[in-house]
Amino acid sequence: MERKALQNVFGQFASGVTVITCANADGEPHGATVTAFTAVSLEPRLCQVTLTRKSKACGYLTDAPFAVNIMAADQLDIAMHFAGRPADPGPKWADGPTAPILHGAAATLSCTPWRSYDGGDHIIFIGEIVDAQASGKPPLLYYRSTFHDLGEPSVNSLWTLSADDPHSGWFDSTTTFTPFHIAESQTA
């Protein structure tokens, strides 16, 4: 399979957009736009980011604390800034619990290094989450090599994973329930 064909297949998976931030060798804030991010575990609290071996950030993350800044839908310019197209004005930084963080993100996870693994032309970094903050802002998404926002939710999205969905679940909207203690006293 050709590399480009595989990239196109990978592009069928919509993902969030993150900027992984850390300090460089001089202690200055540094960031890289990354879509290869995922939650790993709730106990211990772990997440994963995958960076290409050729990136500067990959070298800075080895055994170093970092932050995962989940970009908000209005932060396309910041995502592009850290993807190699500098924005003017640049990003607004803040001191985070473990590493520099970006203002205005949809969410931020501050991590200490936990493990790293060989991932072929990438390195897989697992961070232990020591602090997590969410702003409530909608996220920026990436799909088929293009940035997107969530758009309007579908009508049925509120019922996702709910067993009492009136359209396809166990119970319709007219179903009522009698608590066990009342039902038992009525049959006695």
What's the pLDDT band for 168 if we cut at 50, 70, 90? low
Backbone angles phi, psi at 146, to 5 degrees: -140, 145
Q: Which residue has the tokens 């166990």?
A: 170
Q: 38 and 47 in contact (C-beta within 8 Å)?
A: yes
**Domain regions of the chain by residue span:** 3-152
Mean pLDDT, rounded, for 55-65: 91
Asked if residue 186 has pLDDT above 80, the reply is no
Asked if residue 153 has pLDDT above 80, the reply is no
How distant, in Å, are the alpha carbons of 52, 77, 92 from that of 74? Answer: 26, 8, 14
Asked if residue 47 has pLDDT above 80, the reply is yes
Asked if residue 119 has pLDDT above 70, the reply is yes
Give the pair of three-digit tokens for residue 4: 């480009």
Q: Give tens-digit pLDDT for 64-107.
A: 999 999 999 999 999 999 999 998 888 999 999 999 999 999 99
Asked if residue 187 has pLDDT above 80, the reply is no
SS3 84: coil
Q: Could you please state the CATH topology (level 3) that the domain comprising 3-152 is classified under.
A: Pnp Oxidase; Chain A (2.30.110)
d(CA 18, CA 157): 24
d(CA 77, CA 111): 24
pLDDT recorded at residue 127 = 97
Q: Which amino acid is at 129?
A: I
Long-range contacts of 58-64, Cβ-Cβ distance < 8 Å, separation of 24 or more: 58/122, 58/123, 60/22, 60/23, 60/24, 60/25, 60/30, 61/20, 61/22, 61/113, 61/116, 61/123, 61/125, 62/116, 62/123, 63/113, 63/116, 64/22, 64/23, 64/99, 64/113
